[in-house]
């Protein structure tokens, strides 16, 4: 069961199953994250690099990095789970 850790930030001690559950996204969540990522990327490529836009570009890069991490972690876990199922099926 998830347990709140003492930290300067909100952190949780999760079981492996809780961790997996938190990483996996349903189809609507994936679509939403992809839409957010596209909107942010479009905003970024629409900006001209200048001192006035530098902070916004850095901010958008950070947002893209977070979204990419969430999407990639989900895709990797899905691939790992598919491999586990294939191996399990071969053993039967």
Q: Is the dihedral of CA 39, 42, 46, 49 positive or negative?
A: positive
Give this prediction's pTM.
0.88
Tally of domains within the chain = 1
Q: What is the mean pLDDT of residues 20-29?
A: 98
Q: Is 54 a member of any domain?
A: yes
Could you tell me if residue 85 is inside a domain?
yes
Q: Output DSSP code: residue 3.
A: E
Mean pLDDT of the chain: 95
Query: Looking at the domain assignment, is residue 13 inside a domain?
Result: no
Confidence of residue 92 (pLDDT cuts 50, 70, 90): confident
Determine, yes or no, domain membership for 70: yes
What confidence tier does 91 reach under pLDDT thresholds 50, 70, 90? confident
pLDDT tens readout for residues 69-81: 999 999 999 999 9
19, 36 Cβ separation under 8 angstroms: no
The residue range of the domain holding 81 is 24-91
**What is the C-alpha separation between 50 and 13, in angstroms, rounded?**
43
Residue percentage of the chain with pLDDT more than 70: 100
Residue 5 lies in a domain: no
């Amino acid at each position: 069961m998830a347990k709140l850790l003492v930290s300067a930030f909100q952190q949780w001690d999760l079981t492996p199953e809780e961790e997996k559950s938190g990483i996996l996204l349903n189809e609507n969540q994936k679509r939403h994250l992809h839409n957010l990522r596209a909107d942010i990327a479009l905003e970024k490529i629409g900006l001209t690099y200048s001192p006035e836009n530098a902070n916004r570009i850095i901010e958008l890069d950070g947002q893209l990095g977070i979204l990419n991490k969430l999407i990639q972690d989900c895709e990797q876990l899905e691939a790992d789970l598919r491999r586990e199922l294939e191996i399990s099926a071969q053993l039967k």
